[in-house]
Structure 1
Amino acid sequence: MAAYPPQHWQPDDTLVDFLDAGLPPVYIGFGSMQPARAQRLGDIAIAALRRARVRGIVQSGWAGVQAHGDDVLTVSEVDHQWLFPRTAAVVHHAGTGTTVAGLRAGVPTVPVPIAHDQPFWSGRLQALGVAPEIVPLAELTVDRFAHAIIRAVHGPVHRSKTEQIAKELAAEDGPEHVLRALEILTGHKAPA
């Protein structure tokens, strides 16, 4: 389930074969949500993917979400940095790590916030123009979910924005900015 699985993670043949078998799929993952809603989420995911006429990869996560069909694959642990660039869009809970992985991948997103800081990150994704809309988990319906997926996959503005942001992130030296901010806050220069 982790965004950063064990160091030597490799995709299994089933995942590689699925990716090779057609157009890039939509990734759907709800992070560390608890199991109470797993069956409902799996059913909504399958119906929304079918209605949007796209293939999907659903990550089971802590909740154990399962979604099976001709054009749907359920996975457990997967490296988001490896998978996301191979997708048409990413649907996720808008946790910090998954948000960053989606931005770095340069693909549009559909945030489905559940709790904590997720509404904040969802709002940022929409403000950046990489997400067509925010679909809070409490308001998730097949129609709304399918509509958001269609807009993310087929909206050229969202794709263009995400590609631009991915390039900017790739060129940025994030650790250097953090180091300089810490030097300013502490009044001490970091050793070279």
Structure 2
Amino acid sequence: MDQVAHRIYWRNTLDLEPVTLSEGPCLTETIQIPFIYCRSPDLIPKPADWGNHIGTSIPNVPSILFFREAPSYAPPNSLEAFLNGGTLPIYIGFGSIVVEDNEKTTAMVLEAVRLTGLGSTDFENDNVYYIDDCPHEWLFQKVAAVVHHGGTGTTACGLRYGCPTTIIPFFGDQPFWEDMVAAAHVGPKPIPYKLLTADGLATAIRFCLSKEVVESARVIAKKLHASSGVKDAVRSFHAQLLLEQLRCDVLSDQPAHLKIDRKKLMLSVRLAYTIGTARSLIVIRHSLHELLIKNQRWDPVTGTTSVAIATYYRMSSSIANIFIKPAQIYRASIKAVSKQKTEPHSGVPVSPKPNVAASMALASASSLGRFFHHYSKGVMVDLPLAFAEGSRMLPKLLGDEVPDYGTGFAGLVIKPYTGVKNHGVLGGALGIGQGVLDFSTKVSTGEVYRASYAPLWAHEAG
């Protein structure tokens, strides 16, 4: 909650309007901010419906995977002897996941290992090693397969070293990673922990040790070793910078800060100053990324209702602050005086007593001013705009769009005619309704737009 309050305060200090809850979750997609998924394209190809801003702008590099290098690790002698004692073992562990019944889970895992038929008859004493903290980057190079909870880092590490992988997902993105592992044929289908049995785990282990799965894991590991996540990340970052729009058009080794008004010539500060001393120029600041976050309305009813509720809330808060803010200032002054009395010999010079009454009056007047601000903006700007934008969206609900006045008028004739031609009398009736809807929501609301945009421009300019 402290972080949320800080963000709201930060936007207020910059005189920025709050981002609505309906727009905030989709903001990255709406304004298409470039970002990269730290996933290997060899494991997860870029989906066809992802835009150019998702992944990277580099062809065939939709995502990037980073690995950390194997840390230096000195294993205990017993672990080293176990790993070198015969065939490669299988790693089974759930990381930091805390299971409900540890003893029951351990017994089930041991039974699954026994059912696989791996190792000697006395498998629990000869073929099971209980390991403490050990880096996966070191250990996974020395095992035949891995069974784990499906954490992102653990999954990536196992695949990097060619380990067929069985994932027992608990929560979060763990089921997703197991689906990706199964799709790449380097592991079985997911087995949720609540459905885990000894027979199911034994079957999954046998699947991981099959020749086809081992070969698939080896191919994935070879591709991952050939990739360079850091280099691809740098290339993608540079590709998203739009360097041609960042450079000065004359001095290409300097960044562009200004541009000549009514022309597309972009200049560095040094060049603009040099030219400006010899000739009077009108220059404006060069802004590469100007973002306008618009609240998309679904229809006129929900649009105007949400604006009315928001306006009422802001007005009510302002009225309450007419009394709350002065009270807070008064209490703060009382606490300050009490603190000074309890620390008479602190040695710190006491500043002059502020005019508490003036501060209280100023806070009350400021809240009153904000009340009238919210009232005028809500009635003259927000409500008309919400109604107009919501009305403009109505034809889209029917799969249609009216781009201008002429189309709105023409719809009164074309829609009924098309409806009769395609679907008879019923289609004609529906066409009349759709034509009237187009006319009323586009032609009439256009005037509402015209009337409400002047106050909006005045508000933004102020």
Q: TM-score w.r.t. structure 1 length?
A: 0.82
The residue type paired with residue 170 of structure 1 is H
What residue in structure 2 maps to residue 151 of structure 1? 207
The reply on whether 1:98 has 2:154 as its aligned counterpart is yes
CA deviation digits over 1:30-54, x for unaligned, max 9? 1111253321221111111111123
Taking only the aligned residue pairs, the percentage that are identical comes to 35
**How far 1:181 sits from its partner (Å)?**
2.8
Indicate the RMSD between aligned Cα atoms, in angstroms. 2.0
- Structure 2 partner of 1:20: 84
Report the AA paired with residue 192 of structure 2: P
Q: Distance in 2 between matches of 1:25 and 1:106?
A: 14
Q: Distance in 2 between matches of 1:37 and 1:185?
A: 50
The structure with the greater share of residues assigned to helix is: 2
- Correspondence for 2:132 among 63, 76, 100: 76
Q: CA deviation at 1:78?
A: 1.1
Is residue 2:151 matched to residue 1:87? no
Cα deviation, residue 177, structure 1: 1.8
Answer 1 or 2: higher relative contact order, Cα 8 Å, separation at least 6: 1
Give the match for residue 135 of structure 1: 191
Matching of residue 178 in structure 1 with residue 178 in structure 2: no
Choose from 58, 67, 73 the match for 1:9.
Answer: 73
Q: In structure 1, what is the equivalent of residue 450 of structure 2?
A: none
- Give 2:206's aligned amino acid: I
Of the candidates 36, 41, 44, which is equivalent to residue 105 of structure 2? 41
Please, which moves more after superposition, 157-166 or 126-135? Answer: 126-135
Q: 1:183 to 1:19 in 2, by over 3 A?
A: same
Residue in 1 that maps onto 2:180:
124
Cα distance between partner residues in 1 of 2:99 and 2:179: 26
> CA offset at residue 73 of structure 1?
0.6
Q: Secondary structure at the match of 1:44?
A: helix
User: Matches of 1:114 and 1:187 in 2, distance apart?
Assistant: 42
Structure 1 distance, partners of 2:239, 2:137, is: 32
Which protein is richer in strand relative to its size?
A: 1
Q: Does residue 221 of structure 2 align to residue 166 of structure 1?
A: yes
How far apart, in 2, do the equivalents of 1:100 and 1:148 lie? 19
- Count of matched residue pairs: 172
Contact 1:90/1:110 (8 A) holds in 2: yes
Aligned to 2:301: none
Query: How has the CA–CA distance of structure 1 residues 105 and 7 changed in structure 2, closer, same or farther, with 3 Å as cutoff?
Result: closer
CA distance in 1, matches of 2:206, 2:99: 27
Q: 1:15 to 1:187 in 2, by over 3 A?
A: farther
Distance in structure 2 (CA, Å) of the matches to 1:7 and 1:172: 20
Name the residue aligned to 2:165: 109
Greater mean deviation of Cα atoms: 68-77 or 180-189: 180-189
Aligned equivalents of 1:135, 1:152: Cα separation in 2? 14
Q: Distance in 2 between matches of 1:7 and 1:20?
A: 20
Structure 1: which 5+ residue stretches go unaligned? 56-67
Q: 1:107 to 1:8 in 2, by over 3 A?
A: closer
Distance 1:168 1:70 in 2: 36
Q: Alignment partner of 2:129: what SS?
A: strand
Give the partner amino acid of 2:108: I
Structure with higher Rg: it is 2
